[in-house]
Amino acid sequence: MSFEIPEDRRYLESHEWAHDRGDVVRVGITDFAQDELGDVVFVELPDEGDTVTQEDEFGVVESIKAVSDLYAPVSGEVVDVNEELFDAPELVNDDPFGEGWMLEIDPDDTDELEDILTAEEYEDQIA
């Protein structure tokens, strides 16, 4: 099975993606991760205004069969949360790189993204 891995993003080994959108970094989990989890039924995310630290936990995603912690790919302040996921967590399965996004972070330092995996490196990891 092959998985979508957009090249315009960076990745954590724990399967979160980070998309630098200029003023904010949008965060979600990968196609591979949602496939491994199966049907996502619940997400727990921080509130707007909270701060997160790179590679620290920021929330939880639960499928019917498993619970997984979520890790921040970049440090900064949470400036938006995808509240649609509270009522429709299946968006994480349906469109993990699009409608299933989770957070937007105002990064302290976008150079942090250089420290995590490129699409190619992430592809090697899940191969």
Partner 1 sequence: MPLSKPPLWDHHGDRDAKFTEFGGWDMPVEFDSIQTEHAAVREDAGIFDVSHMGQLHVTGPDATALMQRLTTNDVSQLEAGNSQYAAITDDDGIIIDDVIVYRLPDEAAGGDGDPTYLFVPNAGTDERTHERWVEYRNEWDLEATVDNRTDEYAMFAVQGPSAPILVDEASEESLSDQPRFSITAATVAGVECLAARTGYTGEDGFELLLPWEEAETVWEVFDCQPCGLGARDTLRLEAGFLLAGQEFDPESNPRTPYEAGIGFAVDLETDFVGRDALAAIDPDELEERLVGFELIDRGVPRHGYDITSSEGRVIGTVTSGTMSPTLGRPIGMGYVRSEFTEPGTTLQVIVRGQSKKARVEQPPFIDTV
Site string for partner 1, 45-84 (x = CB under 8 A): ---------------x-x-xx-x-----------------
How distant, in Å, are the alpha carbons of 70, 76, 82, 123 from that of 46?
11, 12, 10, 28
Contacts with partner 1 by CB under 8 A: the residue count is 13
Q: Are 105 and 25 in contact (CB under 8 A)?
A: yes
Find the part of the chain contacting partner 1 (CB under 8 A) among 41-49, 75-83, 98-106, 119-127.
Answer: 41-49
Token pair, residue 98, equals 């699009």
Find the part of the chain contacting partner 1 (CB under 8 A) among 14-22, 34-42, 70-78, 112-120.
Answer: 34-42
> What sign does the CA torsion over 53, 81, 12, 117 have?
negative
39 binds partner 1 (CB under 8 A): yes
